[in-house]
Amino acid sequence: MTVKKQYLAAVLALFLGGTAQVYAQNTALGFTRIDRNPRTSALAGAGAASNGNGAYGAFKNAAALPSLQGMGEVFAGLQMWEMSNEVDKTTNLMAGAGFHFGKFGVALGGVYQKGVPLGTFIPSDYLVSLGVAFRPIEKLSIGVNARYAGQSFSQDAKVGGFSADVTLFSQITDNLSVMGGVACFGPQVKGSSASYSLPTHLDLAVAWKQPLGQMHRIELMLDGEYDLSQSLAAAVGAEYVFDDLLFLRVGYRLAGENAIIPSHLALGMGVQFQGFRADISYLTASPILGNTLNVGAAFRF
């Protein structure tokens, strides 16, 4: 391995917040795996099969976009990643919009992520992602996410490249839905002196919701993930809903040693009124990404 490649692998491991360096040596753009949705991040990453994620389908799991409520939704958010870590903490800004046209759905989102300054240089990431979906039959839809992402670790260490997801979503009954697909696949990312694979993974998820009287509802979600680094992960989440006004969430992710997103506990809540929605999540119980805050606001029309 060349000196430049060793350097890039080191800063990859650093910027991914403690991800195993042996994995970082062979992959790039791991930050694309970060959950930007304050709802699902409050479920520790569970909820891919839920139809309540709105226009955040711009970033992943686009197949649910035809289930977007109303005609469209706009959103904006702020994520404070590892706030108490003076080396790895980042500030992330995101925004986007999604639209629903009968059997079709489309959403576009963008993210800018800023790290801790290194002298006069500020490490940064950016991501632009487009999600499109089509429902060919009543209970099945297919979605594609296409994204371009780039990272700048220093003046001489920069990478960028394209990746895509393909997902299937089925609303089996009013209360039960499933999702499956392959995510983050694409050509190798070229650095200054080496090429790196993308963090490709397979997803399978199920969501079940149950009314509890006229004003209460609970939704339980289970997501499984197999990373091509041969790492397994699973997340389980629960959401309690009061009168479609107040949302309380909790989730836990259990991940293998080489997983980019490690094991952690997540908590969160949301409020919704006359088309406006505000959500917040907090990640904890992890030495790597503990003390991470994600807040977002959306308006449905």
Structure tokens that stand for 166 in this block: 């393909």
Q: CA-CA distance, 133 to 109, in Å (whole number)?
A: 15
Q: CA-CA distance, 141 to 170, in Å (whole number)?
A: 6
- Per the listing, tokens 């700048």 go with 152
- 3-class DSSP state of 87: coil
- Confidence class for position 23, pLDDT limits 50, 70, 90: very low
Once rounded to an integer, what is the mean pLDDT over residues 163-184? 96
Q: Is the pLDDT of residue 250 over 70?
A: yes
pTM value? 0.88
Give the CATH number of the domain where residue 42 resides: 2.40.160.40
The widest CA-to-CA distance across the chain, in whole angstroms, is 64
Once rounded to an integer, what is the mean pLDDT over residues 86-94? 88
Q: What is the pLDDT of residue 19?
A: 38
Q: Is the pLDDT of residue 254 over 50?
A: yes
Give the domain extent around 59: 3-300
* Domain count along the chain: 1
CB atoms within 10 A of CB 10: 15
Highest mean pLDDT of the ranges 19-28, 82-91, 134-143: 134-143
Q: Is the pLDDT of residue 49 over 70?
A: yes
Once rounded to an integer, what is the mean pLDDT over residues 229-248? 95
Alpha-carbon dihedral 170, 233, 46, 146, rounded to 10 degrees: -60
User: Which residues have C-beta within 8 Å of that of residue 15, sequence separation ≥ 6?
Assistant: 31, 88, 115, 123, 125, 151, 153
